[in-house]
Chain A
Amino acid sequence: MSIILAGVSHHNTPLSIRERLYFPETHMDEWLDRLAGYSGLDERIILSTCNRVEVYSAAENFDQGLDAIHRFFLESRDIGADELNAHLYVHREAEATRHLFTVASSLDSMVVGEPQILGQVKEAYRVAQASGHAGKALTNLFSRAFRVAKKIREQTPIGESPVSVSSVAVDLAKRIFGSLAGKNVLLLGAGEMGEAAARHLKASGADNLHVANRTLARAQELATRLKGGVVSFDNLEGALIDADIVIASTASQGFILDKPIVASALEQRRDAPVFLIDIAVPRNVAPDVNDLEDAYLYDVDDLQSVAADNLRGREEIARDARAILESEVQTYLARQQAEELRHTFAAIRFFAESMRQEEIQKTFQRLPELGEEGRDALDAMTKALVNKLLHHPFAVLRQMSEEDVEGISVESVQKLFGVEPESDESPPMPPPDESD
Chain B
Amino acid sequence: MVAILIVCYLVAALTHLYLLCTGRSAGVVYGVGALLIGFALHTLMLGVSFASGTPEGWGAWLSGMAWVIILMYLIVYARYRDIALGGFAVPAAFILEGYAAAFPGVWGAGSVAVQGYLLKGHAVLALLSWAAFFLLFASALMYLVQSQQLKSRRPSAWLHRLPSLDILDDLNHKILYFGFAFLTASLLLGSMWAKSRHGAYWSLDPVRTWPLILIWGAYGLLLVCRLTRSWKGKRSAVFSMVAFFAALFALVAHF
* Chain A residues near B (Cβ < 8 Å): 154-157, 160-161, 172, 174-179, 270-273, 290, 293-294, 296-298, 302, 305-306, 309, 313
| Interchain CB contact under 8 A, B24 and A271 | no
Cβ-closest chain A residue relative to B229: A270
| Interchain CB contact under 8 A, B232 and A271 | yes
Interface 1/0s, chain B 161-200, versus A by CB < 8 A?
A: 0011111001000000000000000000000000000000
Q: Could you tell me the distance between the alpha carbons of A156 and B167 in the complex, rounded to whole angstroms?
A: 24
Residues of B within 8 A of A154 (CB): 25-26
Residues of B within 8 A of A174 (CB): 164
Cβ-closest chain B residue relative to A297: B153
In the A-B complex, the 7 residue pairs with the closest CB atoms: A178-B166, A270-B230, A271-B232, A178-B164, A302-B153, A155-B26, A296-B150
Residues of A within 8 A of B165 (CB): 175-178, 273
B41: shortest Cβ distance to chain A, in Å? Answer: 29
Q: List 29 A-B contacts (CB under 8 A).
A: A154-B25, A154-B26, A157-B23, A157-B160, A160-B23, A160-B160, A161-B157, A172-B150, A175-B149, A175-B159, A175-B160, A177-B164, A177-B166, A178-B166, A178-B170, A270-B229, A270-B230, A272-B230, A273-B232, A293-B233, A293-B234, A293-B235, A294-B232, A294-B234, A296-B150, A296-B151, A297-B153, A306-B153, A306-B155
B167: shortest Cβ distance to chain A, in Å? Answer: 5
Residues of B within 8 A of A298 (CB): 153
Is B79 in the interface zone, CB < 8 Å from A? no
Residues of B within 8 A of A177 (CB): 164-166
| Interchain CB contact under 8 A, B233 and A271 | yes
Residues of B within 8 A of A270 (CB): 229-230, 232
| Interchain CB contact under 8 A, B150 and A175 | yes
Cβ-closest chain A residue relative to B168: A178
Number of A-B residue pairs, CB cutoff 8 Å, is: 72
| Interchain CB contact under 8 A, B151 and A290 | yes
B149: shortest Cβ distance to chain A, in Å? Answer: 8
Cβ-closest chain B residue relative to A309: B154
Cβ-closest chain B residue relative to A298: B153
Given contacts A172-B150, A176-B166, are A273 and B24 in contact (CB under 8 A)?
A: no
Q: Could you tell me the distance between the alpha carbons of A144 and B216 in the complex, rounded to whole angstroms?
A: 60
Given contacts A157-B23, A174-B164, A176-B165, are A271 and B231 in contact (CB under 8 A)?
A: yes
From A154, A175, A176, A177, name the one whose CB has the most chain B CB atoms within 10 angstroms. Answer: A175
Given contacts A157-B23, A175-B146, are A313 and B164 in contact (CB under 8 A)?
A: no
Q: Could you tell me the distance between the alpha carbons of A174 and B26 in the complex, rounded to whole angstroms?
A: 22
| Interchain CB contact under 8 A, B157 and A313 | yes
Q: Could you tell me the distance between the alpha carbons of A390 and B26 in the complex, rounded to whole angstroms?
A: 46
Q: Could you tell me the distance between the alpha carbons of A309 and B166 in the complex, rounded to whole angstroms?
A: 25
Residues of B within 8 A of A176 (CB): 150, 164-166
Q: Could you tell me the distance between the alpha carbons of A176 and B167 in the complex, rounded to whole angstroms?
A: 9
Cβ-closest chain A residue relative to B157: A313
A168: shortest Cβ distance to chain B, in Å? Answer: 10
Q: Could you tell me the distance between the alpha carbons of A273 and B146 in the complex, rounded to whole angstroms?
A: 13
Cβ-closest chain B residue relative to A160: B160
| Interchain CB contact under 8 A, B24 and A156 | yes
A316: shortest Cβ distance to chain B, in Å? Answer: 10
Residues of A within 8 A of B23 (CB): 157, 160
* Other 14 A-B pairs with CB < 8 A, given A157-B24, A296-B151, A305-B154: A155-B26, A157-B25, A172-B150, A175-B165, A176-B150, A177-B164, A177-B165, A271-B231, A271-B235, A272-B232, A293-B234, A293-B235, A306-B154, A309-B154
Cβ-closest chain A residue relative to B24: A157
Within 8 A of A (CB), among B65-112: none
Q: Could you tell me the distance between the alpha carbons of A160 and B153 in the complex, rounded to whole angstroms?
A: 18
Residues of A within 8 A of B170 (CB): 178
Q: Could you tell me the distance between the alpha carbons of A271 and B24 in the complex, rounded to whole angstroms?
A: 32
Residues of B within 8 A of A273 (CB): 165, 232-233
Cβ-closest chain A residue relative to B160: A160
Interface 1/0s, chain B 216-255, versus A by CB < 8 A?
A: 0000000000000111111100000000000000000000
Q: Could you tell me the distance between the alpha carbons of A297 and B234 in the complex, rounded to whole angstroms?
A: 16
A218: shortest Cβ distance to chain B, in Å? Answer: 30
Residues of B within 8 A of A155 (CB): 24, 26
Residues of B within 8 A of A305 (CB): 153-154
A183: shortest Cβ distance to chain B, in Å? Answer: 10
Q: Could you tell me the distance between the alpha carbons of A294 and B23 in the complex, rounded to whole angstroms?
A: 26
A178: shortest Cβ distance to chain B, in Å? Answer: 4
B163: shortest Cβ distance to chain A, in Å? Answer: 8
Residues of A within 8 A of B26 (CB): 154-155
B24: shortest Cβ distance to chain A, in Å? Answer: 6
Within 8 A of A (CB), among B123-168: 146, 149-151, 153-155, 157, 159-160, 163-167
| Interchain CB contact under 8 A, B154 and A302 | yes
B150: shortest Cβ distance to chain A, in Å? Answer: 5
Q: Could you tell me the distance between the alpha carbons of A267 and B118 in the complex, rounded to whole angstroms?
A: 46
Cβ-closest chain B residue relative to A303: B153
Cβ-closest chain A residue relative to B25: A154
From B153, B167, B229, B235, name the one whose CB has the most chain A CB atoms within 10 angstroms. Answer: B153
Cβ-closest chain A residue relative to B236: A271
Residues of A within 8 A of B234 (CB): 293-294
Residues of B within 8 A of A293 (CB): 233-235
